[in-house]
Every structure is written in structure tokens, then in C-alpha cells.
Structure 1
């Protein structure tokens, strides 16, 4: 079966992505830190999203290659919003090109729109959001047991909804193909509150450490538009759903605490999140 695997075309903290069979499919193979149950969960969630008519890659099957579990998906040809965002920042840093605000903000609105579509689905067979968040926080070693207990109490006090949530709406998980957004990587999907997905996005925009290869003036440019991005994102989502920033704000601390369990962020970013969590808990 190895002859079916082609060139590596992508990777993340939990997997590597290769061409599969032909140009219309890819296979996502788990790294050592990701087991078969996690891959089965991602396949199941992605299939539910596909069956409900959401804009996602079609999942085909789960396989095992040389002891590594993998999922065969439809191949999506297009750019991630992360790639587009970095390209715009680099254009801004160039003396030869100009980038307008709309180059970034159109993509921000697209993100709000696809999340609104996802959140329109409800009562599906995916895990409980609050229980999943608590489990992730329980593994975190950046917070004390008292701080975790405070966050659990806060989480319990928040309203509970039954809407489909993606769980990891970062810019690398949204692709643009022919002007249409497609959401990938459904491993962390849950049933719960859209506010959690919105908080995840806000935290990423507000606290993410930018790639070290970006020139200083590109970093400075991104830092000046972080809060504008958040405002436009929330304004668009509010227009579509009625949910406001104030309703999302209460979710910032628990979602930041959950994010501390992620493999894909470094200690500098985690320290920023810990400071934000403690600031909020002290109020």
C-alpha cells in the first residue's frame, strides 16, 4: 500500500499529509502523539459535517500504514487563510507592494460566515463541549489546582447550548477554493456553545506569537490591526447570529486554559495566556 503514498504536502502538530492514489485525494497520517481513537474521532466528526451539508472535505476511509493510523480525504486545492494572512503581512513590509485593509478583513468576515454555518447545526452525535474542555484543562501544568477549580466553576456557570462547534477555528484550518471557504481538521469538534469557538479565534488573534521569519515592519503592522480584526470578526458574526462580544468574553478564560494543553503553541504564548487567565480570575 505504500506505493499509493505520494509527496508530503503538509504537516501539523498531530499529523503529516501526503498525496494519495491520485491528485484528487490525500491521506492524513498520525504522528506518534496521536492514536487511532483520535483519528477515528476526526473521521466521525468530519463525516457528520459532510453529511450535514457543511463546507468540508469529503472523508473516504480510515487506514493504517506501517502502524500509523490515517484518514483518506478529498484533496482541497487552495490556500489557507494563514497563508493569505502572512502573504498580506509580507506585502505590507515590502516597498514594492501595497496591501489594503480589505485584503485582511474580507478573510475575517469569511471566517465569521463559515463558523455561523457550522453553528447552525445542532444536536449531533459529537462529544460534550464542556466535558471536553474540562478534560483538556485537567492535563495542563501551567495552572494550580485552585485555578483549575475556579475555571471549572466558571465554566459550569455559563449557559449550555447544543450547537455544533469546530473546536479549533485557527487560520490554518480554513482553506479558500474558488472563493469559497472550506473548514478542515475536525478532531476537536463538540456540541455546545458557539461562544467557545469565537473565544478561540479571539485568543488566537490577540495573543498568537508571529513567525520569526516575518520582518519587523510586518510584525508591527499585524500588531496594529489585531483588535481591528477582532472587532470586524465579531461585528460580522453578530450580524449573522445576534451573539455579541459581551457573551463571548466570559468564555475567554476557560478557552485560554484549554489552549494551554495544545502542542502547537510555544512557551512564550502560553505565558501570555496564563497572565490573561490570572488577570481575569482576579477580577
Structure 2
């Protein structure tokens, strides 16, 4: 069967294994999954994910292969290699004793990704700059100050996933695999690490949970964030201070992602840094 024929059997198989704001994921068989984007999702972003994943899979063995883009009615999809396994968050909650080793491996893999150069991808600074400009909750004075600060930071050529967190890591029998490369850029590895640090420590929780569970999650977040930064710094040969330099533009850029639960905390941190 040719890859572009998969689109005609997705709904017959009916094996929906995941869905998010932008796409649904269907398992076709033991070797393939389809990521079917929602109707109206920009074609340019789908093409960019295909391009970024293709670049990553050429240099890193821990990336599922993307095979082909296709259309299914009014929707567009990407055919991927199927990598079975839970995501890293699910694995840690089911086996807390593995938190240290898995977080260490997670950080080491991030440093490995940053060894790859990706001149074909969009620039990190331009991506951050556009996000800051589009963040409605930032006033013009804050935006100007943050953008001027961003201009003084170093650029880079490293492959940066730029959405590297536990839910985008699959724990398979072949090791950790990195999925969802739509945000990938070329730029500073320290900026990518700063974004991961923020997501690990401060991203808004999903779903409801008890008071005790929320307390446990906060303790776990502090632990994994500290462990991630320590191991990443060791593996990548960079200091925490170099990561800290990127905090201001990284958290300001996060405001463009329309996560209201995070806005108050981020704005407080921005004002503290700008003082």
C-alpha cells in the first residue's frame, strides 16, 4: 500500500490514540500512525513540521520518521513511524522510582539535540520576537524593553525543539523519542533550555486534582527542574547563568500562547527582572 493511500483507511480503522488543539492521531498498524490536522489548520505550519522532523530524524535516532504528507477530505495529515510507549509524564507517575534516571536521560538527550546544526530552520530570535509582539497582555513599554534586551543576546545555529517537555517524549523499548517538532528553530541552546525549565517548573497544570496530589506535583516539579538544569548544564557544558540570561524573553514569548492561568505569574516575574 502506498503511503498516500493511508488517508482512505484512517476512519475505517477507528483507532484514535490521541488528540489536541491542532490535530488527532490515529494508529494505522503496528508500524505507522497518522497525525490528522484539524480542518483549516495552516498548510504552511504542517509543511514546516514535516521539514523540521525530516531534519531532526537525519541526525538523531531518537526521532520518529515522518514519511509523507497527504490530504483526507478537507484535512491534511502526516504519516509517521509508530513508536509505542507512554509519554515521560505518564511513565514517571506510574513509576516514581525512575524519576531521577529518566530526568537525567531527558536532559542528556536535550544536550545531544543541540549538537546538531540546523541552518535551514527559521531563526529563534525572530520566532521569539514575533511572539512577544503578538502578546496582548504586554504593554508597549514592556515590549520595547524586552525586545531591546533580546537583541543583545547571542544568536546560534543549534537545532532547538522549542517545546521540549515530558509530554513530547515517548518512553519506548528503544529509549526516549522526541515528537512534535512544529516549534523547532535554529538558535541558542541556552534559550531552548530556558524554555524547557519554565515549562517543567511553571506551566499551568491540566485537569483537576486533589490538594494532596497538587502538593505532590509541585514537589516533583521542583525536583525534576533542578535535576534537569544540573544535568543539562553538565552535558552541554553551559552554566545556569547562561540559561538565566534567556528567562526574560522566553517567559514574555510564552504569553502569546494564550494560557491565562500563567499570565499573572509571568507578568510578576517580568516586572521583577525589569526593575
Q: 1:123 to 1:46 in 2, by over 3 A?
A: closer
For residue 3 of structure 1, the aligned residue among 9, 13, 18 is: 9
For residue 46 of structure 1, the aligned residue among 53, 77, 92 is: 53
User: Structure 2 regions of 5+ residues with no counterpart?
Assistant: 1-6
Show CA shifts across 1:212-263 (max 9, x none): 4333212112212433322211111122121111110111121111112225
The residue that corresponds to 1:273 in the other structure is 266
| Residue aligned with 1:27, SS | strand
Q: 1:30 to 1:67 in 2, by over 3 A?
A: same
2:166 and 2:221 mapped to 1: Cα distance?
Answer: 14
The residue that corresponds to 1:250 in the other structure is 245
Establish whether residue 111 from structure 1 lines up as the match of residue 120 from structure 2.
no
Q: How many residue pairs get matched?
A: 267
1:54 and 1:124 mapped to 2: Cα distance?
Answer: 19
Establish whether residue 210 from structure 1 lines up as the match of residue 205 from structure 2.
yes
Establish whether residue 152 from structure 1 lines up as the match of residue 159 from structure 2.
no
1:153 and 1:231 mapped to 2: Cα distance?
Answer: 29
Q: Is the Cα–Cα contact under 8 Å of residues 23 and 37 in structure 2 kept in the other structure? A: yes
1:124 and 1:242 mapped to 2: Cα distance?
Answer: 22
Q: Is the Cα–Cα contact under 8 Å of residues 59 and 74 in structure 1 kept in the other structure? A: yes
Shift of 1:278: 2.1
| Residue aligned with 1:243, SS | coil
Q: Is the Cα–Cα contact under 8 Å of residues 207 and 273 in structure 1 kept in the other structure? A: no
The residue that corresponds to 1:127 in the other structure is 122
Q: 1:54 to 1:274 in 2, by over 3 A?
A: farther
The residue that corresponds to 2:87 in the other structure is 80
The residue that corresponds to 2:4 in the other structure is none
Provide TM-score, normalisation by structure 1. 0.88
Establish whether residue 200 from structure 1 lines up as the match of residue 195 from structure 2.
yes
1:25 and 1:123 mapped to 2: Cα distance?
Answer: 26
1:135 and 1:10 mapped to 2: Cα distance?
Answer: 30
User: Structure 1 regions of 5+ residues with no counterpart?
Assistant: 89-98
Compare 75-84 and 38-47 and name the one that shifted more: 75-84
Establish whether residue 17 from structure 1 lines up as the match of residue 10 from structure 2.
no
Compare 204-213 and 128-137 and name the one that shifted more: 204-213
Q: Is the Cα–Cα contact under 8 Å of residues 34 and 80 in structure 2 kept in the other structure? A: yes
Provide TM-score, normalisation by structure 2. 0.91
The residue that corresponds to 1:137 in the other structure is 132
| Residue aligned with 2:159, SS | strand
Establish whether residue 187 from structure 1 lines up as the match of residue 176 from structure 2.
no
The residue that corresponds to 1:36 in the other structure is 43
The residue that corresponds to 1:96 in the other structure is none
Show CA shifts across 1:2-60 (max 9, x none): 3234321111222111123x231111112246311101000000001111234100000
